[in-house]
Each structure stands twice: as structure tokens, then as C-alpha cells.
């Protein structure tokens, strides 16, 4: 995900620790600098969990497997290039999300290999969109996403497209939007996606960003599945009053690691709608 430019002394260390951990608290104040440290130098470079990866040896500690029924998966973007899908399958991964688009200006050049490759090896797969709410409307970006790999089909192997909404690696943390405007933007995206596919888009976010930028809105917690980012031994406090998470991104080592909150039959049910 992205790092953000926080201004003023009002941002407390405790709030920073709630989302990214104390090991990163000193670097999170410089989003543009941190984005470059993560290899994000051009528009289109945002990816899930980017604030937690690659700059610190303590950034990601793999979590212990939970005793409840879960399914392991990964998420990928252009940074992973051509993925060894057979290797990921043999490592126990059964689902994958691939970055398809960002804003209304970028498509992942490795999308076909990643999206189709995961499907061909037997995984349940989905696409995600990296939101840049300052660039265009939610409806515009949802339409762009749908036109470039973000669609859904009821084939039992395709998950609904996901909205990655988080820290802005290119500027102001909340993209210059008020909390009310951000909620409206997300609703615009979600409604446009559902009008075309019939599916409620899963929302990927984290407690800190969601609290800052939506006022910890509860507007989506009864409709849109939560994909929570928390690099720790448990998902912790969930944002927005969601009663449970659907997917948990818990590590970036050696690739972004995700865990579906349920058994394989429930993952299939999410794919089938």
C-alpha cells in the first residue's frame, strides 16, 4: 500500500502504530520519500501493502496460522513480474488477487500472465483497482477498472473485483478529500461496479487510513466484504464497524500473503456470488 504525507504535530505515534507498527513510525511521515524507497517513482506504481514492505527488516512478520478454517492466498502487482504460479500452488496458495488498474491512466503490464496464470493453475482469482480519488470520480475509475480486467463472471473461479483504497504515495494522505467526500467517492465506485456486475466490491484498507480519511465510516460494513491489512499476529481492531474480515493481508514475505476467513467452500461461495 501507500505511504502518506502527514502534516502537523497532531499525528500521534500511537495512531501510527495502530496501522503500520512502531518500526515504521519514523518513516511514515514522508510519503513521497517513502514511496521512492518502495520503488514507487511514477504514477501507476501503487500496490497493496506498499507502506509495509521492503524498507525495513521488521516490516513484515508472518503470522501464525489461526486455528479456524482458513484458505491461503497472495496478491501481486507489476513488481512481481511473471509469477511462478505452479510454485505458489505447491506452496499451498489457493487464491490470488492481481492488480489490474490504477486511477484512470494505468494498467498492469503483467496482468495477463498473473491473472490468467493463477486461474490456469487452479486458483480462484480476482483483480483489484488501486484508487486515486483525486484524479477522477469513483464512477470513472470503476468503469476504467471494468474495461481493463476488473470484471466478474460466475464461473466459480473468479472473485469480485476489489477496491484498494489507502495511503496516497504521491501526495496528501487522503488525496485532498474530506471524510464525507471520500465516503461519497467510495460509494460512487461501489455502486458503479455493482450496477455492471451485480457484485459488491470487496474493500481493501487498514484501520489507520480508514479512520483518518473516512472518519471511520460504517457505510459499507453490511454490504462490502472487508479485506483488512494488518501485519501482525492477528487482524486486530477492524475499521468501519465491520463485524468480521473476509480477507486478511498479514505479511509481505516473501510475497504479499493473504488469508481468507473461512474454509474453501466459503471462498467458492464468494466467487459464485
Task: Give DSSP secondary structure letters for 112-145.
Answer: HHHHHHHHHTT-EEEEEEE--TTTS-HHHHHHHH
Give the N- to C-terminal CA distance of the chain in Å, as an integer: 27
Would you name the residues annotated as active-site residues?
Answer: 75, 164, 166
Q: Which residue has the cell 488477487?
A: 97
Which residues lie below 8 Å from residue 121, measured CB to CB, with a gap of 6+?
85, 86, 88, 89
d(CA 174, CA 226): 19
**Region of residue 21 (phi > 0: left; psi between -120 and 50: alpha; otherwise: beta):** left
Amino acid at each position: 500500500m501507500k505511504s502518506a504525507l502527514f502534516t502537523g504535530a497532531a499525528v500521534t505515534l500511537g495512531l501510527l502504530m495502530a496501522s503500520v507498527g512502531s518500526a515504521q513510525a519514523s518513516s511514515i511521515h514522508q510519503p513521497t520519500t517513502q514511496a521512492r524507497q518502495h520503488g514507487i517513482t511514477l504514477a501507476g506504481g501503487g500496490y497493496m501493502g506498499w507502506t509495509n514492505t521492503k524498507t525495513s527488516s521488521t516490516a513484515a512478520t508472518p503470522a501464525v496460522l489461526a486455528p479456524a478454517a482458513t484458505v491461503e492466498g497472495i496478491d501481486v502487482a507489476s513488481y512481481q513480474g511473471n509469477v511462478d504460479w505452479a510454485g505458489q500452488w505447491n506452496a499451498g496458495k489457493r487464491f490470488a488477487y492481481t492488480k489490474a488498474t490504477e486511477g484512470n491512466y494505468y494498467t498492469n503490464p503483467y496482468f495477463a500472465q498473473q491473472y490468467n496464470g493463477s486461474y490456469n493453475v487452479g486458483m480462484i482469482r480476482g483483480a483489484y483497482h488501486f484508487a486515486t480519488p483525486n484524479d477522477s470520480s469513483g464512477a470513472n475509475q470503476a468503469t476504467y477498472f471494468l474495461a481493463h480486467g476488473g470484471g466478474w463472471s460466475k464461473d466459480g473461479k473468479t472473485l469480485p473485483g476489489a477496491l484498494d483504497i489507502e495511503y496516497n504515495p504521491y501526495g496528501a494522505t487522503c488525496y485532498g478529500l474530506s471524510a464525507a467526500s471520500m465516503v461519497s467517492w467510495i460509494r460512487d465506485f461501489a455502486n458503479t461496479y455493482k450496477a455492471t456486475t451485480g457484485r459488491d466490491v470487496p474493500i481493501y484498507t487498514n484501520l489507520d487510513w480508514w479512520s483518518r480519511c473516512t472518519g471511520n465510516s460504517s457505510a459499507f460494513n453490511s454490504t462490502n466484504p472487508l479485506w483488512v491489512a494488518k501485519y501482525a499476529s492477528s487482524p486486530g481492531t477492524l475499521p468501519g464497524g465491520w463485524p468480521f474480515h473476509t480477507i486478511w493481508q498479514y505479511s509481505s514475505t516473501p510475497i504479499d500473503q493473504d488469508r481468507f476467513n473461512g474454509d474453501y467452500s466459503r471462498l467458492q461461495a464468494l466467487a459464485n456470488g
